[in-house]
Structure 1
Amino acid sequence: MNDGVMIAGCLAGLAGVAGAVSVGAIIARRPGPFLPTGHAIAPPKQIDPLPTVLHRGLGGLTVPVTPGPHGELFLGPGGPQPGRTLRRLVLTPLFARARSRGGRLARDQQVPFRLVVEFVGANREAETLLRAYRMLDQQLRDHAALLSHCEGERLVPGAVTVSVTGIVDVRELLAGEEKRYAFADGTFDDIGSRSAPPTLVPMISEPWNRRFGWDGREPISAEERHLLHALVRQAHEDGRTVRIAGLPDGSRRARRAIWTELGAAGVDVIADVDQLGLVRHLRRHPVSRWVQGAPLPTLAIRRTSPRPHASRPDRHHEPV
C-alpha cells in the first residue's frame, strides 16, 4: 500500500516537472520585445538567419545576396545553393508574419523593420546586377501593402522598409520610379544632397571605421564623440535615420562601450554580428528617442499578396 502511494506520488511529481518544463520551453520560445535600434548582420554561412532575428526582437536585418540563375537572389557570397533564396528564406516568411499580425511583425512594433539587401560577390556585370534588382523589385511589389514606400515626395511607413546596398547602384533606377518600394543606402556625404534626397536615401549607413578610430577599449576622445554627435544631429535635421555597422572586433565589454556611445548620440540603428550581446544591452539601455515614435498604422491585410493600391494619408514625418 505504501509502495503504491509512493509510486503515485512520484508519477504526480514527474508530471508536474514535465508540465513546468513544457511551460518553460513555451516561454523560452516567445519572441522578445521589439528593439527598433537593434539590427542583425547575417553571417555569410548562416543558412536561415531570419527566425533568430525575429525571436530576439531585433528591428532589422542585413543579408548578403548574390545574383543567380534567372535573376534570383541567393543568400550568402558563395555560389547559388538550391532553395537558399532571399524570397524563400526571408521575404516570404517575413511578410507572412506581418500579414498574420495585422501589419506588424510584433505587437509593440512602432517603426518599420529595416531589411537591408546587400549585393555581394565577384560578379559586377551591370546588366546582371540590374536584372537581379528588377527581380527583387518585382518580389517586393507582391507585398506592397506591407512595405514602406515613396509616392512623389511622400514617405509612407509600413511594416518593413527595404534598402539596397553593395556593389549594385540603383539610385538612378529608383529616382525614375513614380512609386518606389525600396530605397538606396546612403552615407553622411549625402546630407543636404539634392541628388539624393531623403525620399530616395532615407537611411545613412556607414561602417564605424570609415570615420572613427576608437575601438572601445579606452574612453572615447572628446573629438570623436563631438564628431559622432554632430553627424547624427545633421542627418536627423536632414530628415534621415542613421545606421552604424562594421564595429571593431574586440571583447564584449569594448563593444558595449561603443553601443553606449552610439545610443547616447541618438544613432537610430546599431548593426552588429553579436546579436545576443546587442539584444541584452538594448534591453538594459533602451534608446529613449523611440518612445515618442508615431505608431505604425494597423492594416486590414488580405491573405493573398496584394498589388500596389491607392496611397495612404501623408505620414512623411514618420521614420522610414
Structure 2
Amino acid sequence: MRLNHLLLVVSFLLSTFAQVQAEEIATVLPRAHAHNDYLHKRPLQDALSHGFNSVEADIFLVDDQLLVAHSHQEIHPQRTLESLYLEPLKQRVKAGDGKVYPNAPPFRLMIDIKSDAETTYAALNIMLAKYADILAQVHDSKFQPGAIEVVISGNRPQQTIAAANSRYAGIDGRLGDLGGQKAKHLMPLISDNWKSHFKWNGAGEIPAAEKEKLRQLVRRTHDEGRAIRFWGTPDTLAMWRVLDECGVDAINTDDLSGLAKYLNGEALSQKN
C-alpha cells in the first residue's frame, strides 16, 4: 500500500508540474530548436520554459541503457533518454489534454544516435513503443499523427527504418536527399551543416547571392512538404534574422533566451 501511495503521489506531482510549466508559456515558438538541449541546466524543461517546440538529444547505447551525452566521457548512468525526455514529455502531454502546448504543432524530439546505428536504433524502437500513445507513428505505410514527432539523426540506420512495418520515428535527411522518393513521414526534416554550403559567418550582411541560395533551398524543401534546419549556425542576431526571413523551419541555437527574445520581438543587445 505504501508503494502504491508513493507512486500515486509522484504521478500527481509530475502531472501538476507539467501543467504549471504549460501555463507559464506565454508564446509557443514552433521554429525554435534547442541544439544539444541536454547540456542546459534543466534538460528539456529550460527549452519548454522558453516555448521551444523542438529539442535535440544525443544518445549512446550502454549496457542496454539509452544514455544522453555528447561524448563517452560525459556519460552518466542516471541521465537516460527516458528519464530526461520521454517520461517528462508523457506527463506534459497528459496534463496538456493530449499536447505539449495548447494550439501548437506537434513537438519535435530529435534523437541523435552517437553509438552503433543498428543496435542503438533497435533498443530505441523498443523504448519508443512504450510511449506509443504520445508519438506520431507509421503502421503499414499509414501515418498516424501524435503529440510528439521523433526524428532520428546522427548514425541513422536508414534502410532499417524505411523497411519497418511499424515505426515511431522518421529520418533526419540531408540536402542531398532532396528530389528523392522518400515519403514525407519517413523523412520529415532536412538538416545540413551551414558551413558546408555557405561562407557567411553570421556577422554583418549576408551576401545577396548566398541569401538567394538559402531561399532556393528552403523553397525546394518546402515544395516536397519537408522542414529544413541547419546546424553550425553562429548564435548571432544577424544569423537568426536571415534564417527567419528566409523561412528556415527549425532555427538551431544553444542560446535559448536569446533566440526566444528575438522570435518574440523583444529588443536585444547586438550579437554581432
The TM-score, its normalising length taken from structure 2, stands at 0.83
Does the 8 Å contact 1:33/1:108 carry over to 2?
A: no
Over 3 Å counting, the alpha-carbon distance change for 1:98 and 1:44 in structure 2 is: closer
Over 3 Å counting, the alpha-carbon distance change for 1:220 and 1:105 in structure 2 is: same
> SS where residue 108 of structure 2 aligns?
strand
Q: Which residue of 2 aligns with 1:50?
A: 44
Q: Which residue of 1 aligns with 2:173?
A: 186
Does the 8 Å contact 1:61/1:115 carry over to 2?
A: yes
Unmatched tracts of structure 2, length 5 or more: 1-19, 267-272
Q: What value does the CA root-mean-square deviation take over the aligned residues? A: 2.2
Count of equivalent residues? 245
Q: Which residue of 1 aligns with 2:249?
A: 268
Match of 1:70 among 55, 64, 67: 64
Unmatched tracts of structure 1, length 5 or more: 1-25, 250-254, 286-320
The TM-score, its normalising length taken from structure 1, stands at 0.71
Higher strand proportion, which one?
Answer: 2
- Which has the greater radius of gyration? 1
Q: Which residue identity is paired with 1:191?
A: L
Q: Distance in 2 between matches of 1:245 and 1:81?
A: 25
Q: Which residue identity is paired with 2:88?
A: P
Match of 1:131 among 95, 112, 119: 119
> SS where residue 109 of structure 2 aligns?
strand
Match of 2:200 among 214, 221, 235: 214
Q: Which residue of 2 aligns with 1:59?
A: 53
Q: Which residue of 2 aligns with 1:85?
A: 80
How much identity, in percent, do the aligned residues show?
Answer: 30
> SS where residue 103 of structure 1 aligns?
coil
Over 3 Å counting, the alpha-carbon distance change for 1:75 and 1:90 in structure 2 is: farther
> SS where residue 89 of structure 1 aligns?
helix
Matched, 1:200 2:180: no
Q: Distance in 2 between matches of 1:115 and 1:245?
A: 16
> SS where residue 58 of structure 2 aligns?
strand
1:180 Cα shift? 1.7
Over 3 Å counting, the alpha-carbon distance change for 1:47 and 1:115 in structure 2 is: same
Q: Distance in 1 between matches of 2:38 and 2:133?
A: 30
Does the 8 Å contact 1:73/1:132 carry over to 2?
A: no
Does the 8 Å contact 1:34/1:106 carry over to 2?
A: yes
Q: Distance in 1 between matches of 2:243 and 2:144?
A: 27
